[in-house]
Structure 1
């Protein structure tokens, strides 16, 4: 029996929430049986990513491909060869501005090797602005979670204007138009962004893009999904759009019902994690005390607020009243000096932030072990997508594939860095 490989391309890949979700689905025997699929005969296959943020590229590789020492000829890689390869890419150290060639050249050999291997193993095509449609592999699912800075209520609200970070959406338009001309449009598209994308202020820009998708033959299903309805105790609403080529009706995404209590979901009083708790406690300063009035008190709540890229600001996901070791206390007397020089509360730890994005607890250990700092992990967690919501979305796509009995055809696909033979879903409804 032929294996069904559902090929996926991740634009704005980040740390790979999409691939995390798909891998989880492939381990869900009960779901596959429910859909009438045999575990060994169906799998999601990553055929490419697009990402320019160096830390996210390296983190994606670590989370999904493991240690880099297994890379072929690891000890014999040439700095000259690797540098020549990297200088073809537009890369960024801060996810905001591109690195100059001189900045890349000044990196240590170890860092150059780390980035080189990550790009290779991630099948990374680089920045979205540099991608040429004719160079992209055929994919069945194309995901795009473009930047939200100019849409978020925290930002200046420039919207989808060309030249802004959020305006990178129009690069997706350029790529899809090119794939249309090549007759290689993906069967499904999956978009994610902040809820404000569908607001009165920004909806006209989105509608313009949605109309473009319709002109290509896509049927769009738009929705706002909250993480707390998908088994994750985080009040995080995000806009999604699933587009099906030649689709005729909307795609239904089923929630998992009521959310899990944050006190059951997280390991909040683990002696082995005390150092992590303590590191999440700010100094006891007047400015930090002000956060107490503004922030949600998670001791008494079943869920946190939206995970952000930085906790020590407002809005933030909330705070826990805690003792000097970061363990939870009631502090009914409102004594803001119970911990001396440290504040009477702690924020969520980076490990907890990743867990609340539905990554596994050891994801934090993986990133810490490759040298990612607490602030970088927080940044990448806040910019990621809740994995359990993506699981529900990909499940709905799997159901659509099964219900329509989409035929498979044998294709030969040359991947970016190695040659592989896949069986791909054909683009017929």
Structure 2
């Protein structure tokens, strides 16, 4: 049974997902990924649209996030990233400095696919701006919206065991239509991957369900080659909901501490008053729940720290300060030793465009279990 977007599975939904049955699967259809038994054969990964490497860090594992009693550790995964690519200079530099020199700088359209080393897995978060609810929603009519075809082309050449693509939730929206054929965008994308010989399913996943202190929902398109007789199941979370206060409160008052990378980088942009058409992304995050989605835009999409306010007038926005780059990185679940390159404007963009590493870690382990029959 092919799972199309009309049957999209929410990571936090407590329901049966498939007709097929598999061993070691929870009643809600999710697989436990805490332990990986067996040979732990290391799989080679090719990463497209890598950004600063949030998804790649998740696939690699071996990182720790947050501090004190809130510290979370994620063990090493049986993957090796052998090639990566991005054309955003600051994202490329950040990836190279933190993950490795295997990343290639440049537009994927201009890279000869036969020169890319063979991978067992292909991953990537193809550009989302033209599918985002906050963007122009041009979908496949925009050049960026068609960049997923570069991933399709490489998969067609390499025929990896599996692939995993990440994008915004809105890519699954029934109203997002390809104007050239009148079909839903998600159907067009899934068909292109299926025609390469893969069983493809689309999932909506809440990052907050996996302990990321941010209400970020993303779509994952997962394909397993037709000759592999196993199914991908969403991972069961071993981390509870984490509030923003638990993730960043220890950073308060340390903005001038240069031992904390990127923490002295903060926007001085003023928070405008709400307009009749809405808040346009400007708000002060709550301390007692996961934050709103960390955004990449610098203008009219500003998140204020919950500790900054005018006690005599809580609605006085002149007293708010924007989250620092490091605070945004914490809410995205990046380790403090992951340093972002570029000025503050570019650093906000790089952080906001990233996949939360914790979410990537869970998805990576679930994919490994799928390929080896839940060993």
After TM superposition, the score normalised by the length of structure 1 is 0.65
Cα drift, residue 319 of structure 1: 1.8
C-alpha contact 2:265 2:344 (8 A) present in aligned 1? no
**Counterpart residue number, 2:221:** 241
**Aligned equivalents of 1:213, 1:124: Cα separation in 2:** 24
* 1:16 paired to 2:53: yes
Could you say if the C-alpha distance between residues 268 and 217 of structure 1 is closer, same or farther in structure 2, counting changes exceeding 3 Å? same
Cα drift, residue 191 of structure 1: 0.7
**Counterpart residue number, 2:324:** 349
SS at match of 1:375: helix
**Counterpart residue number, 1:358:** 333
Cα drift, residue 195 of structure 1: 0.8
C-alpha contact 1:160 1:202 (8 A) present in aligned 2? no
Equivalent residue in structure 2 for 1:47, among 75, 79, 82: 82
Cα drift, residue 307 of structure 1: 0.8
**Counterpart residue number, 2:26:** none
Cα drift, residue 261 of structure 1: 1.3
Alignment of 1:316-331 (within 5 A): 316=302, 318-320=303-305, 322=307, 328=308, 331=311
SS at match of 2:202: strand
Cα drift, residue 54 of structure 1: 1.8
C-alpha contact 1:282 1:288 (8 A) present in aligned 2? no
* 1:386 paired to 2:356: yes
* 1:196 paired to 2:170: yes
Q: Deviations over 1:301-340 (max 9, x none)?
A: 41211111135414x4x32355xxxxx4572533739xxx
Equivalent residue in structure 1 for 2:340, among 355, 361, 367: 367
**Aligned equivalents of 1:20, 1:9: Cα separation in 2:** 13
* 1:280 paired to 2:266: yes
**Aligned equivalents of 1:224, 1:130: Cα separation in 2:** 31
**Counterpart residue number, 2:240:** 258
C-alpha contact 1:219 1:245 (8 A) present in aligned 2? yes
Q: Deviations over 1:60-93 (max 9, x none)?
A: 111124xxxxxxxxxxxxxxxxxxxxxxxxxxxx
* 1:173 paired to 2:159: no
C-alpha contact 1:228 1:235 (8 A) present in aligned 2? yes
**Counterpart residue number, 1:105:** none
Cα drift, residue 2 of structure 1: 8.4
Of stretches 197-206 and 121-130 in structure 1, the one that deviates more from structure 2 is 121-130
**Aligned equivalents of 1:279, 1:395: Cα separation in 2:** 34
**Aligned equivalents of 1:192, 1:239: Cα separation in 2:** 6
**Aligned equivalents of 1:269, 1:50: Cα separation in 2:** 32
Could you say if the C-alpha distance between residues 233 and 31 of structure 1 is closer, same or farther in structure 2, counting changes exceeding 3 Å? closer
Number of residue-to-residue matches in the alignment: 315
Unpaired segments of 5 or more residues in structure 2? Answer: 1-37, 65-72, 178-183
C-alpha contact 1:140 1:188 (8 A) present in aligned 2? yes
Cα drift, residue 386 of structure 1: 1.1
Cα drift, residue 253 of structure 1: 2.6
Could you say if the C-alpha distance between residues 312 and 215 of structure 1 is closer, same or farther in structure 2, counting changes exceeding 3 Å? closer
Alignment of 1:4-403 (within 5 A): 4-24=41-61, 43-65=78-100, 121-124=101-104, 126-161=106-141, 163-177=142-156, 179=157, 184-202=158-176, 204-246=184-226, 247-248=228-229, 249-256=231-238, 258-268=240-250, 270-274=252-256, 280=266, 282=268, 288-290=272-274, 294=279, 295-299=282-286, 301-314=288-301, 316=302, 318-320=303-305, 322=307, 328=308, 331=311, 333-334=313-314, 336=316, 343-363=318-338, 366-367=339-340, 372-403=342-373
C-alpha contact 2:55 2:356 (8 A) present in aligned 1? no
Could you say if the C-alpha distance between residues 271 and 8 of structure 1 is closer, same or farther in structure 2, counting changes exceeding 3 Å? same
Cα drift, residue 137 of structure 1: 1.6
Could you say if the C-alpha distance between residues 332 and 31 of structure 1 is closer, same or farther in structure 2, counting changes exceeding 3 Å? same
SS at match of 2:78: strand
Which protein is bigger by CA-based radius of gyration? 1
Cα drift, residue 52 of structure 1: 1.6
Q: Which has the higher helix share?
A: 1
**Aligned equivalents of 1:281, 1:404: Cα separation in 2:** 46
